Every structure is written in C-alpha cells, then in structure tokens.
Structure 1
Amino acid sequence: MELTEYIARNFARIALGHVTRPYPYKDDHVFESEADVRPPRVAHPVFFGSYDWHSCVHGWWTLLTLRRHYPKTAEAHQIVALAEETFTEAKLAIELAYLDRPTARGFERPYGWGWLLYLHLEAERHADHEWAARLEPLAQAFAARLRDYLRVLTYPITVGTHFNTAFALVLSRRWALGRDAGLVALIDDWVERAFGDRSDYRGWEPGGDEFLSPVLTAALLMAEVRPQLSFAPWFEALVVANGWLTRDCRPVFVSDRSDGKIAHLDGLNLSRAWCLRAIAPKLEGNEVEGLLLRLADQHLETALPHVAGDYMGEHWLASFALLALLRE
C-alpha cells in the first residue's frame, strides 16, 4: 500500500480546503491583558487555519510533500500559488514575534515545534522557491527552544497525545541531521537516558483519546538513534518477548468521528502504521520484520477510508496517512 497520484490529489484537495479555513479554531494562547483578545489570523497570519496552529503547520507539510511527489498536478500549481501568498517575510515575522512573549514559552511544546522543523525540512526540498529561507528564522527559534527544553526535561512524557516527547524528537532529529550536530548529540544522549533501559512494555494502550502509540513512537525514535545491532535486542525485550506486539497491537475502533477526541483514534491507527513500517527495516532478516509490515497494513486499511468526512478528523488525518504511506 503506497501513495498514488489519485490518493495524493485527494489529500491535496483536503489540505487546501483547511489550511486557510479560519474557523472553527482552537487557540493555544495565554492572555496577558484585554489587548490580547484578537482573531487568530492577527497573531498567526501564516498558521491560522486547520482548527489549530499545529494542524495548520502539518497541513502545510502535507501540501509541500505532495507537491514534491506530484509536481505536475493541478493541485500542485494551487499549492505553489498559495505558498507564495502565505510564506512571506512579513507574515512569518509576525509568527516569530509571537514567540517573544514571555507567556509563549510553552506555546505548542513539543508537538508544534517538531512539526515546524519538519515543515522547514520539507521546504528545503523545493529549491525553486524561497520558502525554506523564509521559514529559517522560525525553525531556528524552535530549535533553540528545544535545546533549552531538553536540558530541563528530566522525564519523557509518554502519553499518546500532543505532549508526547518521542514523536516531537523523531521529527526534530530528522531536521537536525546534517545541519546541527550539537542538537543531534543532545537528542541522542537524552533519548538513551530516557528510553535505553526500558523493557517489557505493559502500558494500558490504547487510551481513549490517543493518536500516538506511546511505545511504538518511542521505539521509532530509538530505531533512528541506535544502530541495528543494538536496536533489535532492545525492541525484542520491549514488545516482542512479552507478547504485546502480537496480543495488543491491533487496529482500534472509533465510535464517533464527530467527537474531536475520539476521532484521535483514527490517527492512532495511522501513526502506528507509520511507526511499524519505519521500524521494520531496522529488523531486516528478523522474523519480526514481516509481522510489523502485516500489522502496519492492517492499521492502514482500517484508517484510510476515514481520512475525509467529519472536520474533526479531516483537518489533520491526511498528514498521518501520508507519513505512513511514504514511510517518511
């Protein structure tokens, strides 16, 4: 199951329909005074759509990624025109200025940080436009925040929602590779201390509003930090030997897609598929590799029909479907 032009064009139309849709919008804002009461577009002239800031960021990652893979489609031309209109120095300067507020220290931490860095990484792949150069100051600002955060974050946050540490570090580390050796080293050292001794996973997964698997997200991070020879036995001790992978890693049921929290479970199926597909090559030659790929296909087949439908899922699910289909 891979990305096709048909799927790509459908995903592009979905994302084009929400990255500039201003409402409904869930604001992540600490009010300092009455003067702070303003429409989201005023504070976030770039990322004001898609229900919330972080979803708009990865909606744009979705659009740029699809444009790279299928540059000749009608949707790709629409993406370019909208990106030129959106990623201007003036608008991005306002996004950057927002971070200077003392009460914005925890703004979108860490989920939105990771996605912004990943968007910048994707923008760099479009050398025919200046999007990456314009996004660079914002990316560097979030990278600096991440460095400071890891120096004070004693324990990983292992919930399956936006506060999950491992997910943000997967995206951030990919951005830092070949660009910021110090940040890569800081992440790798922190990851080994946080997850290196973990084994025999017995978490109560899935949670009712999770869109990330706490254990598989951490495992994907470890797969990218560790060489294969040391990752394989770690993974075996984590979820294989105790039977969790075969017993509990099954597609989850979504009872109400109009409920924003319950709709997260479609994302759990998709993010699990992404993790399983990305981890599998690190177990090449191991019988577990085939199991991971079969489980990934089961999760994808369950979730893909529900990427579009109710706006509570539609404003973000295509990004996670794309991660899984591309094995990004």
Structure 2
Amino acid sequence: MNPLAELPPDVLVEGRRDALPIDAAATLATHPLEGVETEYPHYVGSVESPEGPLRPAARHPVFYGCFDWHSAVHGHWALVRGLRLFPDHPDEAAIVECIDRRLTDRNVAEEVAYFESNPSFEEPYGWSWLLRLAAELHLWDDPRADAWRETLRPLEAWIRDATRESLLDIERPQRVGTHGNTAFALAGVLDYARTVGDDDLATGTAATVRRLYTDDTATVTGAEPIGWDFVSPALTEADLLRRVLAPDAFARWLDGFLPDLSAQPHDSLLEPVGAEPDEGDGMAMHLVGLDLSRAWCLAGVAESLRAARDA
C-alpha cells in the first residue's frame, strides 16, 4: 500500500518530515529517480537547424530525462529535497550516484551554452524550477549539496540574471493554468531570492508582484480548470500575494479578489478534480497535479489568514 495514502490530508499538506514514514521517502523518489534517467520520449521545445535535433543527452547533458527539461529539473529538486528531509533515505546511494554522474562542470557549461543560444528557452516555468533546485541545495547543510551547488552555479547565475532582465520587466502576467503562469514563476523566484539572501532580487520581484497583481479584484473561477491545467490561476496568484503582503493587508486583498471562497462560484476550488491517474496520458496527469497544487496554495493562504486573525 502507498504509505502516503494512510496520512490525514492536513498532515500531508503540511509536508512535515516527521509526519512521513521512512518508506514514504522511497515512494516519493521512485518516479523522479527513474525519470531523470529516461531519455526518450523527449519533447523538444525549440526551433531546429537543418542538421536536425541532437539527442536529448547531448543537448542537455544534465537535465535530459523526464520527457522535457523543466520536468528533469523538477525531478532533481524532488530527489535533493528527499535527501535533505530524510538523512536516512533508503535510496541515498542511488540518488547520489545519479546526480554525481550528470552534474559536472562540463555538463553544466553545455547547459549554459544552450541558454546563451536560446535565451527564452523554458521561460518562465523551467527558470523557476532551476532556482528552486538551487535554493534546495542552499538549504541543505551537507558537503554534497555544497559541491553540487558550486557546480550548478554558472547555470543558476544565467537564469537569475535572465530573470532580472526579462521576467521582472513583463508588462502583463499570463493567467493560465499551465507552464506560462507568471504567478507560479514569480513565487519560485521570490522564494529563491529570500532563501539565498539575494536582497536585490527579492526586492525587485516583490515590486513586480505588486505592480502586476495588487489591483486585481473579483477574479473569475467558474471556468477552472481549463483543458489540462495543473495549477489554479486564482489560487496560485493568491499564494503569491501572501508572500508579499502583510497578513492583514493580504486578508483585505483576498476579500476583494476571492470573496467567500466557500460559496459559489469559488467553492469549486475546494473540491478535488477527481481525475483518474493514467500514466499513458501525460496531459490527463496534469489534472492529478492540479489537486496537489490547489492543496498547497490553500495551505499557504490559510496560514496567512490565520496570522491575520491572530494578530
């Protein structure tokens, strides 16, 4: 039986290390560990030359698995986070060998070179996940994390600088339920900046958030989810704003943006989508992820509202 299925939902959403049994660590590592090693099938999201596309492992020697680049980055984040939260991780040796083998100076230089030739590649979703991976390595007090972070640093620096120059200057956000969602990306950037102590990036990101979102009112949620969403545009925005506004200010903003979340039409956001997992249909699996992303957004919103209530 899946050990996660036995946990109460509120405990699972909190994500506490001490709430998860050790066999949950192995469960959570199974798909990422397999995925980052799987080169095909692979989605190519770039314009090709007449010579044709390179093999994924030649194009992206670090992040070539998991069907696409951002998923490979996300998979590495999941593996690193598992090692950090579970010092006695049952798959530690396999994970360390897997990351050591691909995260080399030469491979990272190849990744950077690709971005220099394709500067909008994976903007903004993949950028956000790369910064989340760097932040996770920063949080982990372990010599292996320090070494991996140092090796990854050139790519981290490229993404960080590109974020300053491109993402923070956008005129209007994308309010979609898939990879282009601006709020999701900015949340990752802000969390990264605060984690690593990049005050300039944190200040600039917060200013962008205020410029793009603080005037929003009466959002429309009746059409969610659309197609193959894996995030809720409304809840993802709320989860971002609670990072920037003080609890009392956030509570006032939320009252105008999502008044009475428990009543129609917004109450549908509280109900599971109920998608049936189908590993053969990647797009349908997005809807499985939507329930998870809604849950973590609601948990963050609830935490801020609790702080406002108790102030």
In which range does the TM-score fall when normalised by the shorter chain? Answer: 0.7 to 0.9
Give the Cα separation in 2 of the matches to 1:26 and 1:246. Answer: 36
Alignment of 1:237-248 (within 5 A): 237-241=256-260, 243=263, 244-248=265-269
Consecutive unaligned residues of structure 1, counting only runs of 5 or more, are 288-328
Report if the CA contact (8 A) 2:168-2:205 is conserved.
Answer: no
* TM-score for the superposition, normalised by structure 1: 0.82
2:229 to 196, 202, 210: 210
- Could you say which structure has the greater relative contact order, defined with CA pairs below 8 angstroms and 6 or more residues apart? 1
2:143 aligned counterpart, secondary structure: coil
1:212 aligned counterpart, secondary structure: coil
* TM-score for the superposition, normalised by structure 2: 0.86
Consecutive unaligned residues of structure 2, counting only runs of 5 or more, are 1-10, 13-19
Matched, 1:127 2:167: no
Q: Which residue of 2 aligns with 1:165?
A: 182
* Aligned CA distance change for structure 1 residues 255 and 8 (closer, same or farther; 3 Å): closer
Report if the CA contact (8 A) 2:230-2:290 is conserved.
Answer: yes
Q: Which residue of 2 aligns with 1:12?
A: 29
Give the Cα separation in 2 of the matches to 1:263 and 1:82. Answer: 25
Q: CA RMSD in A?
A: 1.8
Q: Which amino acid aligns with 1:216?
A: L
* Aligned CA distance change for structure 1 residues 77 and 282 (closer, same or farther; 3 Å): same
Q: Which residue of 2 aligns with 1:180?
A: 198
Alignment of 1:66-215 (within 5 A): 66-101=82-117, 104-124=118-138, 125-129=140-144, 130-177=147-194, 178-203=196-221, 204-215=223-234
Report if the CA contact (8 A) 1:254-1:266 is conserved.
Answer: yes
Q: Which residue of 2 aligns with 1:324?
A: none
Is 156-165 or 78-87 further displaced after alignment?
78-87
Q: Which amino acid aligns with 2:304?
A: K
Q: Which residue of 1 aligns with 2:79?
A: 63
Report if the CA contact (8 A) 2:134-2:149 is conserved.
Answer: yes
Q: Which residue of 2 aligns with 1:222?
A: 241
Aligned length: 284
1:94 aligned counterpart, secondary structure: helix
Q: Which amino acid aligns with 1:224?
A: R
Q: Percent identity?
A: 35
Matched, 1:281 2:295: no
How far the C-alpha of 1:34 sits from its partner, in A, is 2.2
How far the C-alpha of 1:13 sits from its partner, in A, is 2.0
Q: Which amino acid aligns with 2:167?
A: L
2:217 aligned counterpart, secondary structure: coil
